Structure 1
């Protein structure tokens, strides 16, 4: 399973029109993206994985991430085995513990001890009849404890909403060997006012989640940076501008120790498949 180079992270491929999702995935496969990453905020995520595997022939399909509170580990392992038998070694199982406000909104108090919950989920997978190999799974990881777990119990880490500085520090924690696969959000717009308007609206929902906010505080951002979505914070989290600006940011992650960078494209309409932007980035990055 080759996880070098550049991939795409897309909510549209997961939650958009299935026919367009399949058509877009086939094109992205032909364009040469190494992996297509999809989120899991409810619903049958493994059905979406199967849908995308069926639409492609070469690219890796990755969950970024499979929400461990929403799935049974033995069932995930069994389905993983079936998908791999059918489509080959092209499914990277990204596992994550999500966020307290999202999980507790339906069942108050359920979200607790995320590190222990992740370990228990991995234990369940490993104890299943057909375990998912550690080399075919990664963990959502921001802080040092989860990064350390991703090095010992998985193939590496998939940090989300981070910066090149975080990539450098994460590589120090992981050491050599484990994969580091950060997500990088981008906006193909050279109009700063337009980029800031689109990106700020998108960022605010994430900055309200403690895991992301706490990680950014560890990176040196202040309460004012977070509450106002300061220019400093915005520029650190979102690569905006032309293809050269995106390419430079991806290279910062690679220089900092990333093995693979999954790019997430923002547009004014979050439901839109940004296929023109994906094509432009393929020409610039692949």
Structure 2
């Protein structure tokens, strides 16, 4: 990853356990992810010491990019985030990327104050203003937005290095690329299930998707993508599940990742979905099985 973060390419790994699981396991996992040839790891944020978790992953790797997917702008102070970013860069070089997001009304109203979540576009723009005003400022090319709708994608285009959409289809990637235009980083997340039995694969996918049916940002985006009210009611239609989560063997999953690339993605991060109930393990075997086809497909 060069100083120009728009050069982030290849295939990354999105994994919650790298943030909220055992730090020693996270560090060892990041080292293996790097050795397998993946180009980045992405970790979520719902408050707390995001930058400490990022530092843990950076310390255990040499070249791997470490990105937030996403930094919750309601829960992380902008000036402090800029300061911590520069500390990480001073220690580990330019392989830190901050994915920023406005989160979701149900979460913010529950964790902070009811009614606090309002005007997400204006809130995001104001947060970017704060990052620009920090001393030192957070560079524009060091940040991307978790953008789904057209207006947020336009804000990502105008004020950041690009976008990190989540739970989207290759068709959404094509739309995002059209809005972002050339030269902006487009790094969608892609959920994957390494399972060829349709019923079992969809059961695992629905288990991992279940939380998101209660979050309007995602449900509204699925509707924009052509899904009906019947599709987006929990637990989701087979049509929706199959479009959002790639399942099957290694070849099938590699084909879906390639669809995102063909639609304009620079970088795709996979989220391996399993039937685990905790963060005490990581899907190491799945990462190993997928690496040869995903890394090879990008280099071909």
TM-score category (smaller protein): over 0.9
Confirm or deny: 8 A CA contact 1:6 1:260 kept in the other structure: yes
User: How far apart are residue 76 of structure 1 and its match?
Assistant: 0.5
CA deviation vs aligned residue, 1:69-122 (integer Å, no higher than 9, x gap): 001111110111111000000100111000000000131011111111111111
Shift of 1:57: 0.6
Instruction: Judge conservation of contact 1:32–1:59 (CA < 8 Å) in 2.
Output: no
Q: For 1:74 and 1:264, how far apart are their aligned partners in 2?
A: 30
Query: How many angstroms does 1:197 deviate by?
Result: 1.1
2:248 pairs, out of 236, 241, 245, with 241
**Structure 2 partner of 1:284:** 293
TM-score by length of 1: 0.98
Cα-to-partner distance string for 1:159-207 (whole Å, 9 max, x where unaligned): 0000001001111111111111000000000111111111112212112
Structure 2 match to 1:123: 129
Size of the aligned set, in residue pairs, is: 286
Q: Is the 8 A contact 1:239 1:245 kept in 2?
A: yes
Residue equivalent to 2:258:
251
Structure 1 residue runs of 5 or longer lacking an equivalent are: none
> Which blocks of at least 5 consecutive residues in structure 2 are unaligned?
2-6, 296-300
Alpha-carbon distance in structure 2 between the residues aligned to 1:256 and 1:202:
25
The 5 A counterparts of 1:200-279 are 200-227=206-233, 228-270=235-277, 271=279, 272-279=281-288
What is the CA deviation profile of residues 46-69 of structure 1, one whole-angstrom value per residue up to 9, with x for unaligned ones?
110111111111010000000000
Asked if the contact 2:47–2:76 (Cα under 8 Å) also holds between the matched residues in 1, the reply is: no
Q: Which residue of 2 aligns with 1:29?
A: 34
List aligned pairs for 1:24-173, cutoff 5 A: 24-106=29-111, 107-173=113-179
8 A contact 2:9–2:267 mirrored in 1: yes
Does the 8 Å contact 1:157/1:179 carry over to 2?
yes
CA distance in 1, matches of 2:293, 2:187: 19
CA RMSD of aligned residues (A): 0.9
Shift of 1:42: 2.6
Query: Aligned partners of 1:255 and 1:57: how far apart in 2?
Result: 29
Distance in 2 between the 1:269 and 1:174 partners?
A: 36
Structure-2 separation of matches of 1:266 and 1:72: 31
Q: Which residue of structure 2 lines up, in the alignment, with residue 18 of structure 1?
A: 23
Partners of 2:142 and 2:38 in 1: CA distance: 18
- TM-score normalized by the length of structure 2: 0.94
In structure 2, distance between residues paired with 1:154 and 1:282: 30
Which deviations, in whole Å up to 9, do the C-alpha atoms of 1:184-231 show, x marking residues without a partner? 000000111111111112212112100000000011101111115111
Runs of at least 4 residues off by over 4 Å: none
State yes or no: 1:186 paired with 2:192. yes
Whether the 8 Å CA contact 1:226–1:233 is kept in 2: the answer is yes
